[in-house]
A and B are shown apart, each in its own frame.
Chain A
């Protein structure tokens, strides 16, 4: 039993790593296509049918490019920063149930690497650690714009982490557990049981915070467009820059898994249809990330902090208090 468990876990870890690294590549293709269609362009077209082989071309380019460590940087920190982003993104996946449990050749598989009973707290904590990547990358490269970008990253981190925690608190109070599997089972009864109907405010707040957490467009402050260059990633080249990219896209996918699991019923009762619906919800939330990038400009850092501390945080606290009163009486 022990050996079987070990083998199963290793296979699951390898599967998650491979699938989401590949999806990160596919994600870039989808992003470019979706942005292109929304802006009345064609996007990648030349490599392969509809530009599908663009992913392979990008991959070859990133892997074979020279790995440059500029002079004047703190070399060790500079080298380790992209690894932190990519590694923490995948570490967070350990507590996410990707699909309902299914039987394969008479062997029941739970598509979750480790069902620890504090799942959501662990995921948010590890995703928070992921911001060390941009921060260290920016501080280690001897470049003023990278440093400014790292400073913005730290400011954003301190702002949105509060919102994430407080907004998720109200659903946690209702479910009475921190495990994502319990969240799913709480809403297994169908659409009427979804937490979004009883916690719409928390849903919107968490969704907004998710954009800050992944650093996507309305809050894409770590790489500010006004400076034309790529923020903390300016000094990076080749696969080290690619690791930042994989981390960012993997984070987007994992957040897209978490939002439906918490608020929109997840995979429901665990039937095949439920699993399909779950993947559909995940696809919608991923698409929404791309949609906002096409449709909205970035906000300024001070606007984001004003939004987080003066608007969203009071709303989140009031939401928690009201939830507490409703549950008590």
Chain B
């Protein structure tokens, strides 16, 4: 009974939050509703007994949305409404409904045809975390490693792009040196 109550509660909350995210024109509402929705999704993992994935959902998405807030802070005055361009509403809503129906069909098809079996069934007496680890480091080892390499590439690219003059610290330099750096930059702009 509790599971049903919890499921419907969090289903309603999640949908309401993402609805706000999409429809509001206030950047702060959108970001906050997005964060709340992401955290409410973790409830489904907890209801299903996948504690580890639930906690990871909270950790990963709270951090990711935090980065979005940082961008929001840089690009908008978050206390004002954002003026949005509204295109053809019929096309937008039609496409989104189509995609939603499609996703439901894709997920529901194996359930309806009862053609579903666990290719990696649960091992008795083994914790959630260990279970995820076993699958991750046997069956999905290659995708896991590829993802790791991709993240490494992205990190190095980010450092190279952002890291020009990273070893220069204006606070540690003497005033003359700071002036010299400024003049050099001015020369570059003028030339």
A binds B: yes
Which stretch, A33-41, A151-159, A247-255, touches the partner chain B?
A151-159
Would B70 and A77 count as touching, CB distance under 8 A?
no
Interface of A is mostly: helix
Residues of A within 8 A of B72 (CB): 139
B residues less than 8 Å from A178 (CB atoms): 52, 129
Contact B129 A117 (CB under 8 A): yes
Complex CA–CA separation, A139 to B129 (angstroms): 37
Number of residues from A at the complex interface, CB < 8 A = 35
User: Least Cβ distance of A92 to chain B in Å?
Assistant: 11
A125 within 8 A of B: yes
A258 to nearest B CB, angstroms? 15
Among B3-11, B27-35, B82-90, B136-144, the one that faces the other chain is B27-35
* A20, CB-defined interface residue at 8 Å: no
Please name all residues of chain B whose beta carbon is closer than 8 Å to the beta carbon of A155 when the two chains form the complex: 70
What's the minimum C-beta distance from B133 to chain A, rounded to whole angstroms? Answer: 11
Chain A: minimal CB distance from B115 (Å): 32
Q: Tell me whether A124 and B69 are in contact (CB under 8 A).
A: no
Return the CB mask of B117-137 against A: 1 if under 8 Å, else 0: 000000000011100000000
Please, which residue of chain A has its CB at the minimum distance from the CB of B39? Answer: A129
B38 vs chain A, min Cβ distance (A): 10
- Scoring A80, A135, A147, A151 by chain B CB atoms within 10 A of each residue's CB, the highest score goes to A135
Question: How far does the alpha carbon of A165 sit from the alpha carbon of B56 in the complex, in Å?
Answer: 12
Cβ of A122 within 8 Å of any chain B Cβ, yes or no, is yes
CA distance A124 to B62 in the complex (A): 11
Contact with B along A175-204 (1 / 0, CB 8 A): 001100000000000000000000000000
Closest-CB distance, B155 to chain A (whole angstroms): 12
Q: Is A136 within 8 A of B62, CB to CB?
A: no
What CA separation (Å) do A126 and B55 show in the bound complex? 9
Which bracket fits the contact residues of B? Answer: 20 to 34
Given A117-B128, A136-B32, A142-B79, A161–B63 Cβ distance below 8 Å?
Answer: yes
Residues of chain A with a CB closer than 8 A to B55's CB: 118, 121-122, 125
Cβ-defined contact, A147 with B39, below 8 A: no
For the complex, what is the distance from the CA of A151 to the CA of B127, rounded to whole Å?
39
CB contacts (< 8 Å) of B54 on chain A: these are: 118, 122
Partner of B28, one of A140, A165, A177: A140
Q: Are A126 and B73 in contact (CB under 8 A)?
A: no
Asked if B52 and A121 make an inter-chain contact with CB atoms under 8 angstroms apart, the answer reads: yes
Q: Which residues of B contact A26 (CB under 8 A)?
A: none
In the assembled complex, the CB of A158 is this many whole angstroms from the nearest CB of chain B, namely 7
Which of B35, B78, B129, B171 interacts with A132 by CB under 8 Å?
B35
Name which residue of chain A comes closest to B1, CB basis: A2
What's the Cα separation between A327 and B59 when bound, in Å? 27
Q: Give chain B residues whose Cβ lies under 8 Å from the Cβ of A208.
A: none
B67 contacts chain A at the CB level, 8 A cutoff: yes
Interface residues of A in 147-176 (CB under 8 A from B): 147, 150-151, 154-155, 157-158, 161, 165
- For B35, list chain A residues within 8 Å (CB): 132
Is B29 a contact partner of A76 (Cβ separation < 8 A)?
yes
Given contacts A139-B78, A158-B67, contact A77 B62 (CB under 8 A): no
Q: How far is the CB of A180 from chain B (nearest CB, A)?
A: 13
B66 touches A74 (CB 8 A): no
Are A116 and B32 in contact (CB-based, < 8 A)?
Answer: no
Known A72-B79, A139-B78; judge A124-B128 contact (CB<8 A): no
User: Contact partner of B51 among A117, A151, A154, A177, CB < 8 A?
Assistant: A117
Check A126 against B58 for contact (C-beta < 8 Å): yes
* Complex CA–CA separation, A150 to B29 (angstroms): 16
Least CB separation from B171: chain A residue: A302
Contact A140–B79 (Cβ < 8 Å): yes
Instruction: Select B58's contact among A73, A117, A125, A131, beta carbons within 8 Å.
Output: A125
Which A residues are in CB contact (< 8 Å) with B128? 117-118
Please give me the residue from chain A that is nearest to B127 by CB atom: A117
Not counting A118-B51, A122-B51, A132-B66, a sample of 7 additional A-B residue pairs whose C-beta atoms are within 8 angstroms of each other reads: A76-B29, A77-B32, A128-B58, A129-B62, A140-B28, A154-B69, A302-B171
A interface vs B, CB < 8 Å?
72-74, 76-77, 80, 116-118, 121-122, 124-126, 128-129, 131-132, 135-136, 139-140, 142, 147, 150-151, 154-155, 157-158, 161, 165, 177-178, 302
30 contacts between A and B (CB under 8 A): A72-B79, A73-B79, A74-B29, A76-B29, A77-B29, A77-B32, A80-B32, A116-B51, A117-B128, A117-B129, A118-B52, A118-B55, A121-B55, A121-B56, A121-B59, A125-B58, A125-B62, A128-B58, A128-B62, A132-B35, A135-B69, A136-B28, A139-B69, A139-B73, A142-B79, A151-B70, A154-B70, A155-B70, A177-B129, A178-B52
